[in-house]
Structures are given as structure tokens and as C-alpha cells.
């Protein structure tokens, strides 16, 4: 049944029902966003193709979880789609003084003293080509790390450091049969290893390398790295669990802009996972900086296929049917369509790498990234033109076959939408899965200029929501985004929602406190404290100046949403504990005096009275 | 005859430092059994005392802790209540002997609580004892969770004893029936017509308010039979909910349309839904936020849009979905500045076709 006829039928049924029930009119009831997939669309009465409404009325919920990277804020954000309401920020590589991320012992153990980060790509864990809803993975381009977020608590549970690499940019999880590996690319070529043992290479850019790092998704440890001459930015994996791929814009090994732009052709690189496994099995790697490094350089290995694409390409995205990898041209106005069914032949040497290219349609000036609607259409973000371009993949391939005259007609282009202003990433709902549903698209624009109230010279980004359910693209909503999301994924609500918890499993934390008390061992003092609105388990603790203090607090309130703060006046400490959560901090009681510990996170009618004293004796 | 009086020493078993801080809210009272039943002799039975006057049984006294201890108030703790009932099922006296309900937070005093309790003596447990109907909430307006749970404690404890001593007819233990596991696709209209979904419609007029419209249009029913739950929630949500049920547990769905709300906002702070409960075989079940999943739409074909909805898990094994139960809605609303409560009860009986033969 088509979407249109279903919604018509529903409208009819609804009137029927009212007639039967004998109610003339009931005060306006909302347009419910409905859990089952087949109903999400039909539930919107205005929801005819091309006329989706982004209105989510009070009490209703969004149909999609949007997971946004936070750029150099170092965080990940949860945005409700289509309302575009920011629901939560998940601190990842940054310090978050609101929740205590970077302040508590638990988070400091993961962050190891680094509180800056640059998150570009957040992707979910997969099973059989679609999200399984278990984890999110996100890169840190700045300090070369990859973090994992567990979705039940929506918090980071593991961070792995990527040695040897710099500019850890593109990241993508294995899509099939399930996410066992996550790949991450290094955009900046550097000496390998990049330390004093290799100082001779510091000023020899020809001895700089890029690394394609493979991470074990469960253990969050490095499986291996494939070292190549090229730099690599965006990453993708196929839908058969055979390859990972990337683009390189600096095959020249340049260290200045002009050097990086020198060659007319750069590469799309494809990594052959079977051959990587074989190399690991046969011990064809070197241990460098504690990880296995496989030589993937041209002429040294058959692991990497290099498909020439016009100069300085950018994004690489796989169509939801798994057939094509689409490489967006950036400096070239084209997209390169690679037929993934031909890749094995190219690896076997039966065809040339460039023979895998089945189309190179002209899209516009500055194509950066491509997303999909699951109906055979691609949507490419075009930076310089400041547009989103909808084009048909099959028509582009046919035009390519027919020749240059046919290509010139550009009949593969279906619609072009002006956006405001200058788009970077572009992402449609469920588009990075085989379940792409072609409803919403977000255009993550890098400039907002005059789209919001002027809030000073440093302006926010503008994420524009676009309805792609019809033939034409329809701009629906502008939403400001503070520095600086790069990419996002838009995941159906029913995949994530059942996994998310309202309270912690208390004893998952080995130090969970069930009975409050103070324990002293010489100068080391452990304060164990429970919290129940509106009281802490202790009313005062007396310390001696110079004591090394560890404060462990467990929230014993079971009611959902009843979180407590624990702030120690003048000691620069604050953190929040959600229901049944435990956190700890360690500090030196170096200032004598009376210091009120108080609840910072509103909890109760007597929230202000929820406090206790720490007395530090001189 | 020598008058026997039982002075029972209170037990304070709260050792945890956490709860020590709750002392401010704690109220514990001494009591004797004759506080709630005029009798000269009490004989301890299993869950109650028989009260004798001049050698004749005149009634029963019981402690709620032994009967309905799982009912907890805003404080998360049971309000221990001593209850007396005559042989006809009339309440002869009620005394709250321990509670830590923080009613002081909403400007109420212990006297308010006591005034609320004073309404019970003289009332028969054969009457519904509904809040806002048989029992006024005026004395503790605002403490809706406390009132609802306290009422459930008194009514539930009394009815349990009443059915033990034969004042109320105890349910005849029939052979337990089973829910049908068959799934048949059914529309909203069919589910309503069959009685799988029950409708409670409260109009402005029902509340004595101006307006010709429906104030609250409420639908509820049992989740577990697949032909109901899967049709109502859709396959994904149904599977999710069923995965959350322990063996022998049930769940109900409740949907609301219109201006009124069955959820209210009391559950945000207290974690307890204070506007509705269900009752079966003299046992009242209240719902907590941890047993609730939000539902924002009905999947069944032809269903109306809703304003709010949820699935509520009936914890424990005492509830029998194959047997009838009552759904009671206690709706607060305002007339001018005055807050009024009104109760509505609807019986739900699972239609034969959702049961195994």
C-alpha cells in the first residue's frame, strides 16, 4: 500500500470511528507519533508525501533519535527529529562541569587528563546492515581517540587511544554481519612512529604516512593499523562485511595547501578485510608503538585498492542497497559512483581499479557528502553553490553509458534546494542503513549569518531540516547549533527507546555505597555517602588539613529523573548522580574551614536544605 | 472479667543513617487495640485479632503492615495503620501508627492527616470507599499520593480480613484459566466492540462544569493477549513490553484524549500515579513510574489520535488477568480556585475469545 493511500484510508477510518462513538467533537487531540514503523508516517495527518510536518506537540515524542557530533566542543548531542529539539548533551572528550565528566574519578580514568576533543563522526553499532541500538562510536580528531557510548545509560564507557595516527577523522563501524570492527582514519600524515626514535623523519614529508586503524568494538582495543602513503579523511564500510573505504585528498604527501592540490587525481581507497585478516594470521605486520602495523603501501601489499578520482575528493557514502560507493568530489564538481560488485575483480587484477567507476555525474560546485532515501536517489551537499542536490543514481549510470551528450542534459538531477548557508555534511533518516526511509534530511550548514537573532561575531551553525518524502526537497525548519557539529545519524525511535534505562544498575559500580560512613587510614580518608532526597547520608564530616580525601556518593532514589548534585564549596568540585548511580572524587583538604556540600541538581521541595558540612581542621 | 489491654511497644528497626535523616518527617504513635474497636478482649488470629465484648465477637482489629505492606506512599514507605471493623463490615476505628509522608512540604499538619482518617469510622467496606466520592479529600488536598495510598491501605486491608472472616464472599477458587496466545488482526473498532478496550468518558457536565464536550475520553485494557496488545501497541512495542514482564505478571494500557489527564503530574516527584488504580479481589494495585512505559499512539487500525498514553505493569503474581477487575479514576479538577476530586469506576472483564477454552 502506498503511503498516500494509507493515510487517506486512516483519515476515513477515523471519521468512521467518531461516528460510531457518537462524539461530535473532542477537544483537539495531538498527532501522535506512533512507535511502530509502519505508523510513523501515517500518523501525521498533514503527512502526505512532500508535506511532512515537523510539529511535535507538547506530550508527544519525536519519531527519531538524532545523534550529532559536537566538533571541537568534544561532545555528542541527542537531537529529537523532526522537532530538532536538543534533548541532551553527552560529554565525551570534554570536561562537563554540569555533570562532573572530567571531575569524577570514573571519568578521569577514561580521559587521562585530556579535556579537549574534536568529534566529527558519530555512528551506531550494526547488525545485518541496520542499527542494533547498542552502542555509538565517535572519533576525536584532536587527541586521536575513539570513544564508545553505551545507549542504555547514554554515557561513554570506553575510550581507546589511537597510536601512530594524527587527525583521526573518518570513523565507521562494520555493518555486516555485525559490528565487530570499527575503522578510523588518520587525515594527517606523520612519521611512523612519531617519536624521538624516528626523529630523522621529522622533516622528511615523504616519510610521513596515513593509518587506517581497525578497532575491536567489544574490547575497544586496536586490532591493527594499515599504513599507507595517502592521507585519509572520511570512512565507510560496505554491507557485506568485506571492505572499508576512504578518500584521500593528499596523495601528494604535501605539507602546504598548494602541494596538496598539485595532482589532478587523488584516490578512493578500498581495504580488503579478508586480506587484512590473512596478513594478521600470517604475521605480516610490525609492532609499532604497541600495535600491529601492516604495510599497505602501493607496491608493498595487495590489501588496498586505489581508485583514481578527481582531485581532492571528500565524503564516501554507500547506497542503502549496498551496491554503490559514492565519492563526493569537493574540488571537482562531480560525484564518482563506484560499483562495489566490481571491486573483487579489481582486487584480483581482472579489471583496472578505474573500471569500477560506473558514473561520474556533475552535481554542482563543491560536492562534499551524499546521503540516500532508499528509493534510489542520492542527496549531495554542495558547499560552494550552497545547495542540496537530489539526483537519481540509476539515471546517472545510464547517462554515463549513453555518453557525454546525454550527461550534459543532466536529467539525473531531480531537484536543487538552496540552503542557508554552505552545507557540510548531509544526512537523511536511517540513510546509513539498509532501512533508509526517505522522510527527513538534515543539512548541517556551516554558516548561519542572518538566520538567527544576532548573538555576536561568533555565530552558530544552522542545521536545516528538509522534507524529502516528496519529489521536491522542502525546507521545513532552521535550528541553531553551537560549535560545531559535523555529522549526524538519524535513528528510528523504536531501535533505541527500548534500550534506554531510567536508573543505573547500582552494583555495576564496585564502590556503590549502601551505608554511609567515614573511614580513615592515616592521612587517607574515604567518605562513603548515600543520597536520598532531600538528605545526604551524612550531616557532617571532620577532616584534618592535608588529608587525602576520596568521596564516594550513591544516589538511592529510585524515582526516575530524581538526580542529585554533589558540590563542595570552594573546592572546585561538582558532579551529578542519577538514580542508583555512584560517582567518586579524590581531593586534598588543603583549606581549613567549614565547607558546605550541597545538592546542585534540583531534586525535591527541600532541595535547598539538602546540604552537609565538611569541617577541615587546621 | 479482668480487662486485658495490649500495650504494644513500637519497634524502631531503622538503623541506616540515610533514613535517620528522615526523622523530621517521621511520626510514630503508641496504640492499643481498643483504640479502634470497643472490646474487652482480643484474641490473636492469623492476620487479625478477634475482638470480644461480653464473650461475643464484636469485630476485628488488624495491622495494615501484615496485609498490604506493599502499598507505599510518597515517602516510599508503608503507612502503618491500625484498623477496626465490626462483624457487619463497618469500620469502627482507624489509627495511623507510623508514617513518614512529607505532608509538611505542602503546608499540611498532622491534624489534617488525622481529619482525613476520621472519615472512615462508620463506613462500610461493602461500599466502594472511593476517594472523591465516599471519602472526601478536602482535609489533605494536595497530598494526593498519600490520600490514594492511605485509602487503598484501609480498604484493601479491611476487605482482605472481611473475606477471611466471611463478611465478604471470598472468591470461589475456580480452575485458573489461561489467556489465549492466538493473534488475530483486529481493528480499533472491533476491539472496542468486543470489550477488549474499555472506554470511560467524562464530560464537562459530569463534573458540573460548563461545556458540551468530553473532558476526558479514556481507554484501557489488558496488554498481554496478543490479539489485544499487539494490535493496540504494534508488534515492536508489544514485544518490548512483554520482554519486561516477569512470569505471571500483567500489564494494562491506558490512553487519554481531551483536556483532562489520567497521568497528571504527581508521579513526577513521587513516582506514583495518583489518579488511577485497579482493584481485583479486594486488592488494590497502584502503579509506579518504574513500571510505566510511555505510549504516544495507538497502532490499531482506525484508532483515534491520543493526547497521552502508557503501559503500566502490574507487578507480582496476585493479579489474574482472566478475572474481572475494576479501574478507578480519581480526577482532580478546579472550579474557580477550589480543587475538587471526583471518582469513576469501570469494570473490565476479558472477553471469552481472548481466553483459552
pLDDT tens sequence across A528-546: 999 998 899 999 999 999 9
Residues B106 and B194 in one domain: no
Q: Which residue of A has its CA nearest to B308?
A: A59
* Residues A100, A94: Cα–Cα separation, whole Å: 11
The Cα of B141 is separated from the nearest Cα of chain A by a number of Å equal to 17
Q: Can you give the pLDDT at residue B81?
A: 97
Q: Which residue of A has its CA nearest to B293?
A: A498
Q: Could you tell me if residue B181 is inside a domain?
A: no
CB contact under 8 A, B213 and A25: yes
Instruction: Give B56's strand partners.
Output: B53
CB contact under 8 A, B18 and A18: no
How many A-B residue pairs are in contact by the CB < 8 A criterion? 134
Does position A43 have pLDDT exceeding 90, yes or no?
no
Residues B313 and B261 in one domain: yes
- Asked if residue A541 lies in contact with residue A612, where contact means CB atoms within 8 angstroms, the answer is yes
Reported CATH class of domain A506-617? mainly beta
A63: closest CA among A45, A30, A94, A39?
Answer: A39
Q: Can you give the pLDDT at residue B282?
A: 78
Q: Could you tell me if residue B8 is inside a domain?
A: no
Mean per-residue pLDDT, A479-493: 97
Q: Can you give the pLDDT at residue B148?
A: 87
Q: Can you give the pLDDT at residue B22?
A: 54
Considering chain B, what is the average pLDDT of its residues? 88
Residues B161 and B208 in one domain: no
Q: Can you give the pLDDT at residue B8?
A: 34
Sign of the C-alpha dihedral computed for residues B238, B241, B247 and B253 taken in this order: negative
Residue of A34, A500, A529 to mutate, interface with B, max B Cβ within 10 Å = A34
Residues B135 and B200 in one domain: no
Highest mean pLDDT among A26-40, A133-147, B13-27: A133-147
* Residues A413, A410: Cα–Cα separation, whole Å: 6
Sign of the C-alpha dihedral computed for residues B278, A498, B249 and B145 taken in this order: negative
* Superfamily name and number for A64-499: YVTN repeat-like/Quinoprotein amine dehydrogenase (2.130.10.10)
The Cα of B24 is separated from the nearest Cα of chain A by a number of Å equal to 11
Q: Could you tell me if residue B4 is inside a domain?
A: no
Show the low-confidence residues of chain B (pLDDT under 50): 1-20
Residue of B107, B192, B304 to mutate, interface with A, max A Cβ within 10 Å = B304
In tens, the pLDDT along A541-585 reads 999 999 999 999 999 999 999 999 999 999 999 999 999 999 999
Residues B192 and B155 in one domain: no
The Cα of A543 is separated from the nearest Cα of chain B by a number of Å equal to 20
Does position A181 have pLDDT exceeding 50, yes or no?
yes
Residue of A29, A38, A558 to mutate, interface with B, max B Cβ within 10 Å = A29
The Cα of B296 is separated from the nearest Cα of chain A by a number of Å equal to 6
Residues B52 and B86 in one domain: yes
Q: Where in the sequence of chain A do the CATH 2.130.10.10 domains occur?
A: 64-499
Percent of chain A's residues with pLDDT above 90: 91
Residue A560 has its nearest CB partner, among B102, B289, B304, at B289
For A504, phi then psi, to 5°, come to -80, 155
Residue of B15, B18, B230 to mutate, interface with A, max A Cβ within 10 Å = B18
Residues B125 and B264 in one domain: no
Q: Can you give the pLDDT at residue B341?
A: 87
Q: Where in the sequence of chain A do the CATH 2.60.40.420 domains occur?
A: 506-617
Burial pattern B327-338, b for ≥16 Cβ within 10 A else e, equals bbbbbbbeeeee
The total of structural domains in chain B comes to: 2
CB contact under 8 A, B214 and A537: no
Residues B220 and B148 in one domain: no
CB contact under 8 A, B299 and A35: yes
Does position A131 have pLDDT exceeding 60, yes or no?
yes
Mean per-residue pLDDT, A11-27: 35
In tens, the pLDDT along A398-443 reads 999 999 999 999 999 999 999 999 999 999 999 999 999 999 999 9
Q: Could you tell me if residue B271 is inside a domain?
A: yes
Confidence grade of residue A84 (pLDDT, cut at 50, 70, 90)? very high
Confidence grade of residue A85 (pLDDT, cut at 50, 70, 90)? very high
- Residue B240 belongs to what domain range? 188-354
Q: In chain A, which residues have their Cβ closer than 8 Å to the Cβ of B236?
A: 35-37, 494, 498
| Residue at a domain's end among B165, B199, B233 | B165
- Which grid cell is A420? 542557508
Residues B259 and B211 in one domain: yes
Residue B17 has its nearest CB partner, among A38, A60, A538, at A538
Q: Which residue has the cell 547500582?
A: A506
In tens, the pLDDT along A463-478 reads 999 999 999 999 999 9
Considering chain A, what is the average pLDDT of its residues? 92
Mean per-residue pLDDT, A78-84: 98
In tens, the pLDDT along A290-306 reads 999 999 999 999 999 99
- Asked if residue A55 lies in contact with residue B319, where contact means CB atoms within 8 angstroms, the answer is no
Q: Which residue of A has its CA nearest to B15?
A: A515
Confidence grade of residue A46 (pLDDT, cut at 50, 70, 90)? low
- Asked if residue A142 lies in contact with residue A94, where contact means CB atoms within 8 angstroms, the answer is no
Tell me which DSSP letter residue A33 carries. -
CB contact under 8 A, A43 and B297: yes
Q: Which residue of A has its CA nearest to B211?
A: A27
| CB-count burial class (<10 Å; 0-12, 13-18, 19+) for A415 | middle
- Asked if residue A217 lies in contact with residue A174, where contact means CB atoms within 8 angstroms, the answer is yes
Q: Can you give the pLDDT at residue A44?
A: 41
Q: How do beta strands A548-555 and A524-532 pair?
A: parallel
Does position A7 have pLDDT exceeding 80, yes or no?
no
**Where is average pLDDT lowest: A153-162, A195-204, B18-27?**
B18-27
3-state secondary structure of B32: strand
Residues B227 and B114 in one domain: no
Q: In chain A, which residues have their Cβ closer than 8 Å to the Cβ of B299?
A: 34-36, 39
CB contact under 8 A, A43 and B305: yes
| ipTM for this prediction | 0.82
Q: Which residue of B has its CA nearest to A612?
A: B21
Spacing of C-alpha A443 from chain mean position: 15
Residues B337 and B215 in one domain: yes
Amino acid at each position: 500500500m502506498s503511503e498516500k493511500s494509507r493515510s487517506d484510508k486512516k483519515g476515513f477510518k477515523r471519521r468512521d470511528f467518531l461516528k460510531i462513538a457518537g462524539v461530535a467533537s473532542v477537544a483537539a487531540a495531538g498527532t501522535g507519533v506512533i512507535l511502530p514503523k509502519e505508523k510513523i508516517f501515517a500518523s501525521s495527518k498533514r503527512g502526505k508525501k512532500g508535506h511532512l510536518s515537523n510539529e511535535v506537540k507538547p506530550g508527544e515524542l519525536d519519531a527519531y533519535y538524532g545523534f550529532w557530533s559536537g566538533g571541537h566542543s568534544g561532545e555528542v548531542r541527542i537531537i529529537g527529529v523532526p522537532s530538532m529539539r536538543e534533548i541532551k548533551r553527552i560529554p565525551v572528550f570534554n570536561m562537563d562541569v554540569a555533570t562532573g565528566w572530567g571531575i569524577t574519578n570514573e571519568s578521569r580514568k577514561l580521559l587521562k587528563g585530556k579535556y579537549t576533543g574534536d568529534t566529527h563522526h558519530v555512528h551506531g553499532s550494526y547488525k545485518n546492515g541496520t542499527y542494533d541500538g547498542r552502542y555509538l562510536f565517535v572519533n576525536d580528531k584532536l587527541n586521536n581517540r575513539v570513544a564508545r557510548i553505551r545507549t542504555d545509560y547514554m554515557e561513554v564507557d570506553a575510550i581507546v587511544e589511537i597510536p601512530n595516527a594524527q587527525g583521526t577523522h573518518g570513523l565507521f563501524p562494520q555493518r555486516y554481519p555485525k559490528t565487530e570492527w570499527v575503522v578510523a582514519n588518520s587525515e594527517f600524515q606523520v612519521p611512523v612512529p612519531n617519536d624521538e626514535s624516528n626523529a630523522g623523519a621529522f622533516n622528511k614529508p615523504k616519510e610521513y604516512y596515513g593509518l587506517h586503524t581497525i578497532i575491536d568494538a567489544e574490547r575497544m582495543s586496536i586490532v591493527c593499523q594499515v599504513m599507507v602513503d595517502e592521507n585519509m579523511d572520511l570512512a565507510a564500510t560496505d554491507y557485506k562485511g568485506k571492505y572499508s573505504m576512504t578518500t584521500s585528498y593528499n596523495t601528494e604527501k604535501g605539507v602546504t595547501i598548494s602541494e596538496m592540490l598539485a595532482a589532478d587525481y587523488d584516490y578512493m581507497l578500498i581495504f580488503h578485510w579478508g586480506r587484512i585478516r590473512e596478513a594478521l594470521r600470517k604475521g605480516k605486520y610490525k609492532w609499532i608503538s604497541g600495535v600491529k602495523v601492516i604495510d599497505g603501501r602501493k607496491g608493498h601489499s595487495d590489501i588496498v585498492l586505489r581508485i583514481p578520482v578527481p582531485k581532492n575528493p571528500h565524503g564516501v557514502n554507500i547506497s542503502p542497497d549496498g551496491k554503490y560507493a559514492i565519492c563526493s568530489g569537493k574540488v571537482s564538481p562531480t560525484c564518482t559512483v563506484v560499483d562495489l560488485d566490481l571491486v573483487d575483480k579489481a582486487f584480483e587484477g581482472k579489471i583496472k581499479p578505474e573500471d569500477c567507476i560506473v558514473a561520474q555525474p556533475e552535481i554542482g560546485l563543491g560536492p562534499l557528502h551524499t546521503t540516500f532515501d532508499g528509493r534510489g536517489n542520492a542527496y549531495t551537499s554542495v558547499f560552494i553553490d550552497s545547495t542540496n542536490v537530489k539526483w537519481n543514481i540509476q539515471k546517472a549510470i545510464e547517462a554515463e553509458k549513453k555518453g557525454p551528450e546525454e550527461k550534459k542534459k543532466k536529467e539525473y538531477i531531480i531537484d536543487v534546494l538552496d540552503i542557508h548557508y554552505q552545507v557540510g555534511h548531509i544526512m537523511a533518516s536511517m540513510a546509513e542503513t539498509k532501512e533508509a526511509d526517505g522522510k527527513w534530511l538534515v543539512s548541517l550548514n556551516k554558516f548561519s549569518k542572518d538566520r538567527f537573532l544576532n548573538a555576536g561575531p561568533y555565530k552558530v551553525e544552522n542545521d536545516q531540516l528538509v522534507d524529502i518524502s516528496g519529489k521536491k526537497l522542502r525546507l521545513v525548519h532552521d535550528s541553531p547549533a553551537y560549535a560545531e557539529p559535523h555529522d549526524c545519524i538519524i535513528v528510528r525511535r523504536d531501535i533505541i527507546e527500548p534500550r534506554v534505562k531510567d536508573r543505573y544498575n547500582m552494583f555495576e559500580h564496585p564502590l556503590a555505597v549502601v551505608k554511609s560512613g567515614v573511614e580513615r587510614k592515616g592521612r587517607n580518608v574515604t567518605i562513603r555517602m548515600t543520597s536520598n532526597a532531600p538528605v545526604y547520608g551524612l550531616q557532617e564530616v571532620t577532616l584534618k588539613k592535608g588529608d587525602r580525601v576520596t568521596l564516594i556518593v550513591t544516589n538511592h532514589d529510585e524515582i526516575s529523573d530524581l538526580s542529585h548534585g554533589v558540590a563542595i564549596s570552594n573546592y572546585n568540585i561538582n558532579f551529578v548522580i542519577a538514580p542508583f548511580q555512584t560517582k567518586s572524587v579524590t581531593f586534598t583538604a588543603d583549606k581549613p574551614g567549614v565547607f558546605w556540600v550541597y545538592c546542585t541538581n534540583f531534586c525535591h521541595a527541600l532541595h535547598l536544605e539538602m546540604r552537609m558540612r565538611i569541617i577541615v581542621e587546621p | 472479667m479482668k480487662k486485658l489491654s495490649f500495650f504494644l511497644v513500637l519497634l524502631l528497626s531503622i538503623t541506616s543513617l540515610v533514613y535517620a535523616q528522615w526523622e523530621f518527617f517521621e511520626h510514630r504513635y503508641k496504640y492499643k487495640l481498643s483504640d479502634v474497636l470497643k472490646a474487652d478482649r482480643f484474641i490473636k488470629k492469623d492476620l487479625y485479632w478477634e475482638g470480644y465484648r461480653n464473650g461475643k465477637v464484636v469485630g476485628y482489629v488488624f495491622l495494615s503492615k501484615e496485609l498490604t505492606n506493599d502499598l507505599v506512599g510518597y515517602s516510599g514507605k508503608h503507612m502503618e495503620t491500625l484498623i477496626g471493623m465490626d462483624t457487619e463490615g463497618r469500620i469502627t476505628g482507624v489509627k495511623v501508627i507510623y508514617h513518614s509522608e512529607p505532608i509538611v512540604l505542602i503546608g499540611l499538619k498532622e491534624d489534617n492527616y488525622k481529619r482525613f482518617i476520621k472519615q472512615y469510622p462508620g463506613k462500610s467496606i461493602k461500599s466502594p470507599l472511593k476517594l472523591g466520592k465516599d471519602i472526601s479529600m478536602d482535609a489533605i488536598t494536595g497530598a494526593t499520593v498519600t490520600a490514594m495510598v492511605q485509602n487503598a491501605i484501609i480498604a484493601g486491608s479491611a476487605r482482605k480480613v472481611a473475606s477471611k472472616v466471611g463478611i465478604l464472599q471470598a472468591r470461589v477458587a475456580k480452575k485458573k484459566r489461561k489467556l489465549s496466545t492466538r493473534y488475530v488482526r483486529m481493528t480499533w473498532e472491533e476491539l472496542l466492540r468486543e470489550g477488549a478496550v474499555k472506554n470511560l468518558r467524562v464530560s464537562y457536565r459530569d463534573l458540573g462544569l460548563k461545556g458540551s464536550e468530553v473532558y476526558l475520553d479514556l481507554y484501557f485494557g489488558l496488554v498481554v493477549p496478543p490479539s489485544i496488545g499487539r494490535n493496540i501497541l504494534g508488534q515492536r512495542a508489544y514485544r518490548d513490553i512483554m520482554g519486561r514482564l516477569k512470569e505471571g505478571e500483567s500489564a494494562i494500557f491506558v490512553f487519554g484524549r481531551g483536556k483532562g489527564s489520567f497521568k497528571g503530574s504527581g508521579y513526577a516527584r513521587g513516582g506514583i500515579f495518583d489518579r488511577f488504580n485497579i482493584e481485583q479481589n479486594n486488592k488494590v494495585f497502584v502503579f509506579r513510574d518504574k513500571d510505566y512505559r510511555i505510549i504516544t499512539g495507538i497502532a490499531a487500525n482506525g484508532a483515534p489520535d491520543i493526547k497521552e498514553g502508557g503501559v503500566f505493569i502490574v507487578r507480582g503474581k496476585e493479579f489474574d488477568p482472566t478475572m474481572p477487575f475494576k479501574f478507578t479514576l480519581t480526577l482532580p479538577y478546579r472550579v474557580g480556585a477550589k480543587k475538587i476530586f471526583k471518582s469513576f469506576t469501570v469494570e473490565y472483564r476479558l472477553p471469552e475469545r481472548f481466553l483459552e477454552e
